[in-house]
Structure 1
């Protein structure tokens, strides 16, 4: 099979979805499956839907189109707030979007009315992480405007934490969000069906809180696919953390000096490297590089060590493994490496289904 490739265990994805639905459902929280980290892969999306995920969220409309064309039946949520220039595509291809800009909401209203569509919107509130979101002091104005826009249905309020500023979605933040929702419902005499408290970083809050307040929805990617919470990257009990394995082929294996020789300048990454002299070393070169993967986000499963990388190559210390040309090195991946792996066409995606058959995309 063509390398490099990423092996995907669909059985373990199904297990994680089932366990997370049971866990969060115990306090009335529905989980939305975030597909951006797997590039909107339709085979994986199908596993999510067949195991009870009703809403799929992605930050790229092209991924949503791919899943819809593959016949994956779900409600589709645009995870990244829409650009003004893509408003028409949002209306045509998605059912729900997260929003924070009135100019964009007005444009969504225009296209929704033109296409005789009622598009659902969730207004995002800024609670300290300083990525997207309406300042709490301005939320009343936005709600009032949206309620008067044709073609739009205000279905919820949400927030995002931990992604940009690393701010924890703790009890204080979640209580604040619940309070905002209750004030809005009372003031405008509305019911907000979706209160989206965040993402995989909400696990610690969830397990330490007696109840979830008004929070009834979370957007989960990392917890589903890597079995971890997203604050400290600790494994969640009962979940698989080894769903994905990256495989890369050895294309050279030779005994060479451990320290480059000659006058040193910047390398391909723009760094001035500094290697210790450890004498002669068994070194191997892999057919994968920073064009394909975030090298700092992968960890070898074999007894080798990454020495460095360039655009198309990773160089490893092969002393203990003694790999030969044609052998493969297996790696675990973190979230950002997984995101890059699914964003490149140069890595084969090999999904293994419940019947242990392989399907290549």
Structure 2
């Protein structure tokens, strides 16, 4: 099979180990819904979903119906939950491909009920409560009325009640606790009206680490499953499963005073050797890393110099005896040296989620 020298390696054993560690951290009544949206945070949605299912996971979390269609066409038969409010254009796919969805508004209830009834299908829905993040969901005071509308709407089944925390990764847990209290009030209000959802869930990776006993019947780990804790210096047993490698494509000698790449942002201070690597911002290596990033070649860090291009970047290797075809590592281990997605995120003052999800589809994922 054809592949590029630029590729991602996914460590399946590490993924399986991370899933087991997360399961062991949860109480017996809580199952995992593996979040595989955004191409499994850049790790490969089909491959990671299959491994998760092999490890006993029954629910997969997605962001758009198209991701559910992709999974179904790949033969994935686990329960799928759409965790963003469905758009009108997605309703047919939700019904056709047996996708569960959150519900955030009356109009969607009516339209989804009509379509489900037309197709003689029942769609499982999860009522989403806006407990304070103010992104999606119904207001807490609307929860009972919305739940009553759902259970009286033909073709719909109220499978779950859920919310999402805004600050679960913060040291100050007061707002998370406030959100949890509001959610519990909503759940109790439904129960008081004789409405009992099958499932209730609130917990992303940070929440399931902080309050594993309180996150409900489903936990929704995302990046923690792929090896990064959202809370610094916690849950260090999990290991990153992704490595990003390329190879030296060409070598050229330049003289002192000569420049490299667009804009001539790098001027050589002495005679040196420039290695060209076939990876660029079209692959997810942000242009904003230009002049700040190092890569690893034969266990040694070398600076990426000049502006990162769409398809290539250049590395100053000095007088090192490096040949064309030598492996170049941007994320992962090379010799005794190591660099993580967190390291790249620190340079850009962002989060590792952004680094891994940015790795584009044209970069092959190889499962080992």
TM, length-normalised to structure 2: 0.80
User: What is the alpha-carbon root mean square deviation over aligned residues?
Assistant: 3.1
Shift of 1:316: 2.6
Provide structure 2 residue ranges, at least 5 long, that are not aligned to the other structure.
332-340, 342-351
After superposition, where does 1:1-361 map in structure 2 within 5 Å? 2-26=4-28, 28-38=29-39, 41-162=45-166, 170-186=176-192, 188-206=193-211, 211-212=213-214, 215-225=216-226, 227-230=227-230, 232=231, 234=233, 236-241=235-240, 243-256=241-254, 278-295=269-286, 300-302=295-297, 303-307=301-305, 308-319=307-318, 323-332=322-331, 333=341, 334-341=352-359, 343-344=360-361, 346-352=362-368
User: 1:8 & 1:299 partners in 2: Cα distance?
Assistant: 22
- Following superposition, the deviation at residue 299 of structure 1 comes to 6.9
Q: TM-score, normalised by structure 1?
A: 0.81
Question: What is the CA-CA distance between 1:236 and the residue it aligns to?
Answer: 2.1
Deviates more, 1:74-83 or 1:171-180: 171-180
CA distance in 2: counterparts of 1:290 and 1:282, whole angstroms: 23
The 2-side partners of 1:138 and 1:89 are apart by 28
What do the CA deviations read for 1:279-316 (whole angstroms, capped 9, x no partner)? 44433221111111143688734412333412112223
| Count of equivalent residues | 334
SS in structure 2 opposite 1:220?
coil
Q: Note the C-alpha offset of 1:261.
A: 5.6
Paired residues of 1:259 and 1:278 also in contact (CA < 8 A): yes
SS at match of 2:211: helix
Q: CA deviation at 1:331?
A: 2.3
Contact 2:144-2:186 within 8 A present in 1 as well: no
Taking structure 1 as reference, are residues 183 and 329 closer, same or farther at Cα in structure 2, changes over 3 Å only? same
For 1:190 and 1:148, locate their aligned partners in 2 and report how far apart those are by CA, in whole Å. 11
